[in-house]
Structure 1
Amino acid sequence: MVRRVLLRMKIISVEHEYGKDQKLRKEDVMILKQWTEMQCHLPHVSELHLMFFLHSCYYNIEMAKSAIESFFTIRTHCPEFFKNRNPKSTELVKQMNVGCCVDLPKKTPEGNQILLYKFLDRDVGKFDANEQMKLFDMGIVHCLMQNGTSEGVVVVCDFKGASFAHLLKINVSIVSKVFPYLQQALFIRLKAIHYLNVGLLVDGLMSLVKPFLKSELIDSVHVHNSIETLIQHIPIECLPSDYGGSQPSFKELHEDHCQRLFDFADYFIDEDTYIVDETKRIGKPSNPSEIFGLDGTFKQIEID
């Protein structure tokens, strides 16, 4: 089913990815393919996805195996983020107008893809943190499937319009699952996170996020109260016009992004199958209490 869905979508080709990245070797991808086929608990993993995993792990096969295992296992045990992802559903359509993460057209000089999240509706009652995290991940996955790999990913979160009430909805339980997934499972190279227009939320935000950041990423988290310090890291020409940049306005990017998600509905619906079958796992089945410790710290899953 996964292969058929991929063929129907307008996605990047494996030939294009091999052609643009000489370090990405087909023989290494085939080693991963053979390994996944021997893991009875894993679903089918497409060649394109295997390429993404290998690229995100800097071509290290053993690291890629660990990421693959973590990716599917975390998705299985976090249905609040990874189930019911039809972008045309009433709830997700509503949430797209509450907050949205778009991929910006122009990459940084280093070749990093920029993802910009922005609050669109200040009404706390409409804000659903789980659904927002779901849309955030869907945006990242869609960007990869349509554009292919990039040197890395830089995330900018614009907190203009957010309040302490919003922050209270992004609780420890959510962060303890999302950040391990972003850093250890999702097939991207997360290079930096920039928080913009944080204001008085800065202390609460950092105390919430910092415990779950890998040590090598802590120094790559930046807080900005104005665009002036953000553009010291990201060239202003990469930003939307309403941020002073030369790209289309966020409104235009948002409308285009939503339409592209709608066009990928079949892919996101099929993602419900991207889970492990614990009854077929060799050894002891995994469970949430073992994967996420009492302190919320992700426990690395052992692989053969």
Structure 2
Amino acid sequence: MEEYFVRDEQKCAINASFNESDGTINAKVVSLKKWVDECPHLPVETIDEDFLKIMLLKGKFKEEKVKENIKNYFKYLYKHSEFFTGLADIIPSKEVGLAVVSPIVTPSWERIGILKVNFANIEGTFEFSKCFSVGIATAMIMFNYDYTPTLRLILDYEGFTIRHFFQTGVLQLFKLMSIYQNILKMRISGIEIINPPFLFRTVLNILKAVLSSKLYSRITLHENLNSLHENVPKQYLPSDYGGELQSIEELLKLWDKTFVQKKSFLRKIEQVSQTNPPAN
């Protein structure tokens, strides 16, 4: 649904917050297109103006940084192609993983995302890897279409136990971190953890060795919803969390429609990820 993506007038305000105008951004797009012409190893998708504008935003409009991000985007799509297979067949409301985003942004242009396990959709043995696909597909859609500079994540561990953590493949987690660091260059303003399982702080100590110190410092462990509301106002939360938005179930129905609308994009991502890029 298009309400998930900021409107043109909002884009102008976001650009202004970076001291950028349409003129300066268009000039940088032209410059990047010239650079792309000198990089025959990059796929044709690189010259899409909307893609370049998104990459400029995610790279804080710093051209050299953006060039590196673009190269890594396609390089790591191929390197981790197994995570991008079958994304077009996903129906969010039917998946083991649950990933939804708030349809409205905060005054500071922050998008709220929610990740949890949908235990009601589990058949047989729990496999944490089945949670990855819907999260990656959701992130790819938002990264490529939502012109918001920052994301605040709510990680809901309702129903989760420490036993579930030990069923998670360490290698897969490292690959997911690689995808986040090299493809999904989204700036995370905060990670709000609710319903943490017993001994979760032990898990956080393990994560401290994997995450950057900046990202780790943005993690908040909440004991209750009142604590969550201090970081995320109720108007940006589903009713499940004492918020003023629709329920998660209703948001998932909207998100199902968004996936149908973006099916061709998700198929294209799979195709690009399976195409071995020529050497630089």
How much identity, in percent, do the aligned residues show?
20
Shift of 1:279: 6.1
Superposed counterparts of 1:17-96, under 5 Å: 19-20=12-13, 21-22=15-16, 23=20, 25-44=25-44, 45=46, 46-87=48-89, 92-93=90-91, 96=94
Please give the per-residue CA displacement for 1:250-285, whole angstroms capped at 9, x wherever unaligned: 110112112211222111011123348656212xxx
Please give the per-residue CA displacement for 1:96-137, whole angstroms capped at 9, x wherever unaligned: 432211111232342200001132216484544334222112
Query: How many angstroms apart in 1 are the aligned matches of 2:92 and 2:214?
Result: 36
Q: 2:154 aligns with which of 149, 153, 156?
A: 156
Report how many aligned residue pairs link the two structures. Answer: 269
Query: How many angstroms apart in 1 are the aligned matches of 2:107 and 2:27?
Result: 31
TM-score, normalising length from structure 2? Answer: 0.84
1:137 and 2:136 matched: yes
Q: Confirm or deny: 8 A CA contact 2:208 2:216 kept in the other structure.
A: yes
Q: Confirm or deny: 8 A CA contact 1:236 1:244 kept in the other structure.
A: yes
Please give the per-residue CA displacement for 1:6-28, whole angstroms capped at 9, x wherever unaligned: xxx99979976864424161111
Change (3 A) 1:208 1:274: farther
Please give the per-residue CA displacement for 1:136-178, whole angstroms capped at 9, x wherever unaligned: 12112323455x3113111111110112343223322122122
Query: How many angstroms apart in 2 are the aligned matches of 1:48 and 1:127?
Result: 39
Query: Secondary structure of the equivalent of 1:114?
Result: strand
Superposed counterparts of 1:1-304, under 5 Å: 19-20=12-13, 21-22=15-16, 23=20, 25-44=25-44, 45=46, 46-87=48-89, 92-93=90-91, 96-121=94-119, 123=122, 125=124, 127-146=126-145, 148-275=146-273, 280-282=278-280
Shift of 1:198: 0.9
Gapped regions of structure 1 (runs ≥ 5): 1-8, 283-304
Change (3 A) 1:66 1:279: closer
Change (3 A) 1:131 1:63: farther
Query: How many angstroms apart in 2 are the aligned matches of 1:156 and 1:69?
Result: 30
The aligned amino acid for 1:32 is: L
TM-score, normalising length from structure 1? Answer: 0.78
Query: How many angstroms apart in 2 are the aligned matches of 1:186 and 1:230?
Result: 25
Change (3 A) 1:53 1:131: farther
Query: How many angstroms apart in 2 are the aligned matches of 1:104 and 1:15?
Result: 18
